[in-house]
């Protein structure tokens, strides 16, 4: 909850510091609700939790992240605010999406990377996101409560990753879909980001035609409106024919520039090689509810194709837990944690297996680790129970208060624990 409190206080402080200033990208006068230092602070604070709640970092091929960051930094250096502490990460999420936090903290999902053809198209995405950060679009949205939501999301339960069909897997009180942070930009901000993004592309030596192609592809994709639509790039950055036309006009004045197709294809080669494995994983998720045997089969295939993907081992652990084989579950989750020790979710599932195996010390350790990565209601609740059983009243109180704020079934359970504790002290 500390996180939420500090976000709230930053936002409240920001409200007092309202002033008129010149937009660093457009040069226009505007009402500035936040100082640049406050923006940077919010971005830095939210970057970790935002990554966690959307699948964590993609770590199967760390070189991919190095490459993406290099392209991003190249564009950031020629932007209107090269001084921001830019960072670019790849998230382990199959939904096509990309986002920017204030202060230049940017992320792109592996699900979007596989839809792109070359570095120019990648530069179009990253350039666009850089403008959202550089032109302070989130700061302008602040009055709509966008930034407040950022903090509350991080504190909420975030167990199921976006775009995944967890139908049928008995999650009970544990599973709560995450409402991950999504900025809602207006059409004006989108056009502005396209426009200056193209400018940055050209300044960095890229062929801006990539931006037109990207927008065309998005319009086409958005017509399909497949599952995961609401969490995808298209929901937060609505594509439109207007944007295609505007981009085309902008680009007409430039010729040439780098495409770097070969370099891009090399960079995403591992992702492409693993496409079949991720496909098997998605099918296993869908089969998990009504055809467990088939789900295991598909997962075994996926694990054989790519043994270092934390998501595959995590689902295996969840299937074993659903079958009440908690030793097997914990063993599979060991592999999930080993594959990516910096992702909060496998720790929670392993803790639940440890809890069933009566290894509460191990469970508590996993829950604490998960809380450090992303505070969740479920981890807070169980840590409250363990603290209570240990006779640590004050700690139990704090955890239950945290869990109670999340609402829902677990929130009510935490609430009644708090009442019991209060009565006990009267």
The residues that touch Zn ion, with contacts defined as CB under 5 A, are 193, 237
Q: How far is the CB of 95 from Zn ion (least distance, A)?
A: 16
Q: How far is the CB of 229 from Zn ion (least distance, A)?
A: 16
Q: How far is the CB of 103 from Zn ion (least distance, A)?
A: 16
Q: How far is the CB of 237 from Zn ion (least distance, A)?
A: 3
Residue 115 CB neighbours (<10 A)? 15
Q: Give SS3 for 159.
A: coil
Nearer to Zn ion, 137 or 320 (CB): 137
* Nearest partner of 382 among 355, 357, 405, judged by Cα: 355
Q: How far is the CB of 166 from Zn ion (least distance, A)?
A: 28
Q: How far is the CB of 127 from Zn ion (least distance, A)?
A: 11
Nearer to Zn ion, 137 or 345 (CB): 137
- 47, 101 contact by CB (below 8 A): yes
H or E stretch covering 90: strand 87-91
Using the CB atoms, write b or e for 136-146: b if 16+ within 10 Å.
bbbbbbbeeeb
Q: How far is the CB of 108 from Zn ion (least distance, A)?
A: 12
H or E stretch covering 32: strand 29-32
Q: How far is the CB of 193 from Zn ion (least distance, A)?
A: 5
Nearer to Zn ion, 75 or 388 (CB): 75
How far from 133 is each of 17, 101, 129, 337, CA to CA, in Å?
A: 20, 6, 7, 33
- What the block records as the tokens of 282 is 């998605």
| Residue closest to Zn ion (Cβ) | 237
Nearer to Zn ion, 199 or 237 (CB): 237
Nearer to Zn ion, 53 or 141 (CB): 141
Q: How far is the CB of 188 from Zn ion (least distance, A)?
A: 11
Burial of 293 (0-12, 13-18, 19+ CB in 10 A): exposed
Nearer to Zn ion, 140 or 329 (CB): 140
Nearer to Zn ion, 125 or 348 (CB): 125
Nearer to Zn ion, 99 or 400 (CB): 99
Nearer to Zn ion, 149 or 240 (CB): 240
**Pairs from 77-84 (Cβ < 8 Å, separation ≥ 24):** 77/204, 78/200, 78/203, 78/204, 79/25, 79/130, 79/131, 79/134, 79/196, 79/200, 80/24, 80/25, 80/134, 80/135, 80/196, 81/24, 81/25, 81/133, 81/134, 84/40, 84/133, 84/134
Please give the full DSSP string across 301-352, using - where no structure is assigned: HHHHH-TT-HHHHHHHHHHHHHTT-HHHHHHHHHHHHHH-TT-HHHHHHHHH
Pairing of strands 87-91, 105-109: parallel
């Amino acid at each position: 909850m500390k996180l939420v409190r500090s976000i709230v206080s930053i936002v409240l402080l920001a409200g007092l510091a309202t002033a008129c200033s010149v937009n660093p990208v457009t040069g226009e006068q505007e009402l500035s609700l936040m100082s640049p230092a406050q923006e940077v602070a919010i971005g830095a604070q939210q970057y970790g939790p935002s990554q966690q709640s959307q699948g964590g970092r993609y770590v199967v091929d760390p070189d991919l992240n190095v490459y993406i960051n290099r392209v991003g930094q190249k564009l950031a250096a020629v932007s209107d605010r090269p001084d921001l502490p830019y960072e670019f990460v790849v998230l382990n999420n199959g939904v096509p999406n990309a986002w920017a936090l204030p202060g230049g903290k940017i992320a792109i999902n592996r699900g979007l990377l596989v839809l792109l053809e070359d570095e120019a198209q990648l530069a179009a995405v990253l350039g666009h996101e850089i403008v959202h950060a550089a032109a302070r679009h989130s700061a302008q949205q602040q009055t709509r409560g966008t930034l407040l939501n950022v903090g509350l999301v991080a504190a909420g339960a975030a167990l199921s990753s976006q775009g995944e069909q967890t139908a049928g897997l008995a999650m009970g009180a544990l599973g709560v879909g995450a409402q991950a942070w999504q900025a809602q930009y207006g059409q004006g901000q989108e056009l502005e980001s396209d426009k200056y993004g193209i400018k940055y592309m050209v300044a960095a030596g890229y062929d801006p035609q990539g931006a037109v192609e990207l927008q065309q592809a998005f319009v086409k994709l958005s017509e399909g409106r497949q599952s995961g639509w609401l969490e995808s790039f298209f929901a937060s950055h609505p594509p439109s024919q207007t944007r295609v036309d505007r981009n085309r006009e902008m680009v007409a004045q430039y010729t040439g520039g780098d495409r770097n197709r070969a370099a891009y294809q090399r960079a995403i080669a591992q992702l492409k090689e693993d496409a079949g494995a991720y496909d098997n994983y998605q099918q296993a998720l869908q089969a998990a509810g009504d055809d467990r045997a088939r789900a295991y089969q598909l997962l075994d295939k996926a694990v054989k194709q790519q043994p270092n993907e934390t998501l595959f081992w995590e689902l295996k652990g969840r299937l074993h837990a659903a079958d009440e084989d908690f030793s097997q579950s914990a063993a599979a989750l060991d592999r999930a944690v080993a594959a990516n020790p910096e992702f909060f979710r496998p720790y929670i599932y392993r803790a639940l297996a440890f809890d069933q195996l009566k290894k509460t010390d191990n469970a508590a350790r996993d829950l604490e680790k998960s809380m450090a990565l992303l505070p969740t209601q479920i981890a807070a609740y169980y840590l409250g129970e363990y603290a209570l059983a240990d006779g640590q009243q004050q700690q139990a109180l704090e955890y239950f208060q945290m869990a109670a704020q999340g609402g829902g079934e677990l929130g009510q359970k935490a609430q009644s624990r708090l009442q019991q504790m209060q009565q006990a002290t009267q």
